[in-house]
């Protein structure tokens, strides 16, 4: 029988029925279904309200980035990630930064952009002038959409109008700049964009299509900086190695992609731990890295007069602490509590510091012994577990494989068999 994935009203079925359906469809064992059903720190009832068609949860490890000192305050940073070495590397970098007081960070403020796309205007210049001349009316109408945000001290702050030449003809793009305070603000700014669109159509005679936020959040920048003392990080050769690695990333998009991936190892793991939208942050970071027309590094490094390494980062950081999963996911709430976060601005600054720490750690490893030595120990444990090892055999087999320089599934299986016969 050919199986069909077409199900009507799947979203209406109770979780147990959905599980039954996929169990039959995919021939899952009862044990596999039980594993799916176990949603860990997120109750099934909450999971079901977060997205559609829920059948379970996937728990990733949360590790704590230690040693972080940010703007004079010590912080423990929850990081959720599947990749070994990331938490250890960030913690190690944060420890080295402490010699010079840790990280300093700031935030430009939580101003989000909403775009309104206007087409079919006979005179785009005239249309943009009209829109600008009615800025007060447009911002007032936008403000009316969110009294709660206004009460919290946020709301529309300004407006920009841009002319675009596209293959579909000229377009007039209005940006609403909205202070979203402690919210990520997607809902708030999208609602505002939708609300002012008819007014823009009416005043220009054009037609609005898209009304949606931009993830290139250039008015919502987090910045962090740290001085890594030359002798703490391994001497002049390490400083020069990192400067060369950084120059490579600045000059080459192929390298910059990997360099920034390392930055995002740190950033996305904290974004995820706090229930924020990793895709939004990633889209913002990578588009910001390409804002001058060529994709480049998100971090910069310099040598100071004493030969120390000064690292810095600037990255859009549209994170919130009040809405969505940050509020509903119990583990995300605990993550915020661990960091003692009182505002989205504080969270954005911590995340930027972790991104910088992660990048520094990666460059330091790459410019010296290479990344593999550190990675291999942890990787070897995963290989041993995948081969079927458990208990103390995991460590024994991993150690043997690393020593032999053969961290491979086939070798793990051989060693497992060897130990089984002992």
Q: Would you give the DSSP letter of residue 123?
A: -
Examine residue 376 and tell whether it contacts ligand MEV (CB under 6 A): no
How do strand 169-179 and strand 111-119 relate by DSSP bridges? antiparallel
Question: Which of 55, 42, 21 has the alpha carbon at shortest distance from 327?
Answer: 42
Closest CA to 313 of 271, 358, 279, 280: 358
CA 22 to chain centre: 31
Nearer to ligand MEV, 260 or 326 (CB): 260
What number of chain residues touch ligand MEV (CB under 6 A)? 10
Q: 119: which strand partners?
A: 207
Q: Torsions phi, psi of 201, nearest 5?
A: -60, -45
Say whether 201 is catalytic.
Answer: no
Closest contact distance (angstroms) between CB of 334 and ligand MEV is 26
Q: Report, in Å, the least distance between residue 264 CB and ligand MEV.
A: 9
Please tell me which residue in 179, 277, 314, 346 is annotated as part of the active site.
277
Residue tagged active-site, from 13, 135, 144, 261: 261
User: How far is it, in rounded angstroms, from Cα 323 to Cα 300?
Assistant: 33
Site string for ligand MEV, 189-208 (x = CB under 6 A): --------------------
Closest CA to 301 of 315, 312, 317, 289: 312
In the residue annotation, 167 being an active-site residue is answered as no
375 labelled catalytic? yes
Active-site residue, from 375, 396, 406, 413? 375
**DSSP calls for 10-68:** GGGS-HHHHHHHHHHHHT--HHHHHHHH--TTS-HHHHHHHSSS--------EEEEEEE
Does 38 sit near ligand MEV (CB under 6 A)?
Answer: no
Q: Which residue has the tokens 């709430």?
A: 333
Q: Rank residues 62 and 341 by Cβ distance to ligand MEV and give the closer one.
A: 62
Q: Which of 16, 24, 83, 140 is catalytic?
A: 83
Separation of alpha carbons 270 and 260, rounded Å? 15
Q: Give the helix/strand (H/E) hosting 163.
A: strand 155-166
Q: Does 261 bind ligand MEV (CB under 6 A)?
A: yes
End-to-end CA distance of the chain: 48
Nearer to ligand MEV, 59 or 258 (CB): 258
Single residue of 199, 371, 378, 385 touching ligand MEV by CB under 6 A: 371
Residues 64-93 as x/- pattern, contact with ligand MEV by CB under 6 A? -------------------x----------
Stretch that binds ligand MEV, among 22-30, 132-140, 280-288, 362-370 (CB under 6 A): 362-370
* Distance in Å, CB of 88 to ligand MEV, minimum: 13
Helix (H, G, I), strand (E, B) or coil at 316: strand
Contact 109, 80 (CB under 8 A): no
261 catalytically annotated: yes
Piece of the chain touching ligand MEV by CB under 6 A; list 306-314, 320-328, 363-371, 405-413: 363-371
**CA gap 64, 1 in Å, rounded:** 49
Stretches 65-73, 212-220, 254-262, 346-354: which one binds ligand MEV (CB under 6 A)? Answer: 254-262
Min separation Cβ 82 and ligand MEV, Å: 11
Residues labelled catalytic: 83, 261, 277, 375
Residues of this chain that bind ligand MEV (CB under 6 A): 83, 258-259, 261-262, 265, 362-363, 366, 371
């Amino acid at each position: 029988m050919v199986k069909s994935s077409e199900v009507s009203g799947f979203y209406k079925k109770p979780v147990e029925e959905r599980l039954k359906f996929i169990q039959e469809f995919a021939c899952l064992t009862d044990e596999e279904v039980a594993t799916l059903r176990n949603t860990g720190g997120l109750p099934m009832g909450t999971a079901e309200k977060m997205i559609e068609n829920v059948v379970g949860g996937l728990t990733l490890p949360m590790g704590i980035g230690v040693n972080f000192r940010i703007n004079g305050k010590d912080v423990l940073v929850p990081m959720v990630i599947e990749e070994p070495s990331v938490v250890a590397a960030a913690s190690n970098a944060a420890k080295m930064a402490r010699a010079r007081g840790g990280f300093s960070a700031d935030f430009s403020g939580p101003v989000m952009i909403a775009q309104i796309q206007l087409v079919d205007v006979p005179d785009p210049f005239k249309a943009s002038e009209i829109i600008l001349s009615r800025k007060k009316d447009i911002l007032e109408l936008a403000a009316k959409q969110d009294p709660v945000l206004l009460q919290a001290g946020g709301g529309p702050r300004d407006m920009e109008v841009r002319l675009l030449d596209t293959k579909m003809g000229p377009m007039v793009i209005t940006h609403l700049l909205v202070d979203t305070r402690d919210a990520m603000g997607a809902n708030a700014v999208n609602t505002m964009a939708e609300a002012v669109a008819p007014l823009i159509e009416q005043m220009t005679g054009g037609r609005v299509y898209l009304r949606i936020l931009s993830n290139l959040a250039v008015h919502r920048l987090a910045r962090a900086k740290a001085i890594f003392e030359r002798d703490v990080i391994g001497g002049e050769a390490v400083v020069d190695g990192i400067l060369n690695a950084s120059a490579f990333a600045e000059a080459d998009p192929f390298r910059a992609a990997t360099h920034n991936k390392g930055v995002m190892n740190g950033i996305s793991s904290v974004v995820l731990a706090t229930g924020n939208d990793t895709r939004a942050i990633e889209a913002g970071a990578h588009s910001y890295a390409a804002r001058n027309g060529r994709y480049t590094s998100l971090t910069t490094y310099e040598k100071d007069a004493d030969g120390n390494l000064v690292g810095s980062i600037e990255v859009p950081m549209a994170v919130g602490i009040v809405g969505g999963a940050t509020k509903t996911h119990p583990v995300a709430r605990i993550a915020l509590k661990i960091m003692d976060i009182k505002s989205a601005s504080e969270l954005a600054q911590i995340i930027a510091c972790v991104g910088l720490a992660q990048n520094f750690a990666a460059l330091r490893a790459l410019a010296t012994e290479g990344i593999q030595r550190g990675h291999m120990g942890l990787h070897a444990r995963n290989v041993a577990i995948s081969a079927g090892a458990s208990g103390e055999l995991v460590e024994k087999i991993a150690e043997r494989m690393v020593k032999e320089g053969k961290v491979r599934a086939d070798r793990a299986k051989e060693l497992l068999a060897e130990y089984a016969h002992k």
